[in-house]
Amino acid sequence: MRRDRHHGERGFYAWGRLWQPAWSDGYNETAQYQLPTGNLADDFHVFAVEWSAQQITFYVDGNLYETQTNTGSGWVFNVPNNPFFIILNAAVGGDWPGSPDSTTQFPQDMLIDYVRVYQAAATAGPVINAGGVVDAATYGPALAPGSLASIFGTGLAATINGGTFDSAIGAFPENISGVQVFVNGAASPLIYLSPQQINFAVPWDSLLGTPLNVEVLLNGVLSNAVPITLASTAPSLFGYESNGQMLTILTCPDSTPQPGQYCTLWGNGFGPTNPPLADGTPAAAPPLPWTVNTCSLTIGGVAANVTYCGGAPGEVVYQLNFVYPTGVVLNDGTTTGTLVIDGNTASFMLVAGPSD
């Protein structure tokens, strides 16, 4: 908030503008405010800007003259820990005021009585647990672009929402009931919401090999930041708990898989596909979105013939189809397996079938 004394051209109006890279011309001219009488240079005036994650409002002498609202299209003002600055200057020349001429009075003064910055009183906001951003399949720490991830914490959302898919756009939205998840400042598709857990999809264009902050925004209040580091792939397989063991979900024609049967595993973090998958948009077919990198699968130490490895049609997870191999060694009715994609390995356990 400040008081200025203005002289010279355009002295009858106060102008409110926003600048950000996503706009083609670099700025958006919002509106102008005209004094009821006189010139701005005749006296001191109070100019104020109120900034929240969802909107920015402009005032002169307490009079609201413009509101700019977050449209979700390139809006950079919703991440409060980005660097922003207050710049006060008296500009001469340029396209907007025009070049000075013989009628321009010099010298010119810009008189500032004070500059004050206020912050809203702290309110209870979302909190992410330490290490609380994990792979949604196994709750392990490894993640990749496109991974389905889970956030665990407190106060993450106001309600439970398990049906976030928006059929009108054919995708999972990035803003639901005042909740957003940011990965390095980029909004992420939301799959599931509750006060203690959020499931989201890591944006495909996220950087590899460098710490990226994950944050939750709830009704304009930002959580603490938890860093994650992404690999090119982070394969994992969805499972369930049985008798104290975590078993991988295996879909086969028979409840007990038989050698030579075509079976399916459901996974996460398999990496990029061709054709590429889009943020929050379920995979479609045809053509099937195969993984760019080869998927190598072994069951009980025996190599399995992989017939498909890629996006699960109609889902935001992955699907791996294979021929169940013969000669699988059993251990109390279970066997181990490994999946390797681009040098990254997932180890798992499943209920096995007969060896021959």
- Position 82 confidence tier, pLDDT thresholds 50, 70, 90: low
CB-based contact 248:348 (threshold 8 Å): yes
Query: Has residue 9 got a pLDDT over 50?
Result: no
Task: Show the domains of the chain with their CATH numbers.
Answer: 2-115 (2.60.120.200), 127-228 (2.60.40.10), 236-351 (2.60.40)
Of 21-30, 154-163, 199-208, 285-294, where does mean pLDDT reach its minimum?
Answer: 21-30
User: pLDDT-derived band of residue 17, with 50, 70 and 90 as boundaries?
Assistant: confident
CA atoms within 13 A on the CB side of 120: 12
Q: What is the mean pLDDT of the segment spanning 12-39?
A: 70
Using pLDDT thresholds of 50, 70 and 90, give the confidence band for residue 33.
confident
pLDDT attached to residue 72: 63
Q: Which of residues 354 and 300 earns the better pLDDT score?
A: 300
CB-based contacts of 246, cutoff 8 Å, min separation 6: 138, 239, 240, 349
Give the range among 29-33, 240-244, 341-345 with minimum mean pLDDT.
29-33
Question: Please, which pLDDT band fits residue 120 given cuts at 50, 70 and 90?
Answer: low
Per-residue pLDDT band for 10 (boundaries 50, 70, 90) equals: very low
What band does 6 get if pLDDT is binned at 50, 70 and 90? very low
More confident residue, 271 or 16: 271
Kindly report, residue by residue over 302-331, the tens digit of the pLDDT: 999 999 999 999 999 999 999 999 988 877
Tally of CA atoms within 13 A in the half-sphere of 329 that contains its CB: 7
Q: pLDDT value at position 110?
A: 83
Place of tokens 């990198």: 293
pLDDT category at 98 given cuts 50, 70, 90 is: confident
List, in order, residues 6 or more apart from 47 with CB less than 8 Å away: 1, 2, 3, 4, 14, 59, 60
Report the mean per-residue pLDDT for the chain: 86
* Whole-structure pTM value: 0.66
The CA distance from 164 to 318, in Å, is: 19
pLDDT on residue 28: 61
Residue 334 has pLDDT above 80, yes or no: yes
Among 274, 266, 270, CA closest to 290: 274
pLDDT tier at 282, thresholds 50, 70, 90: very high
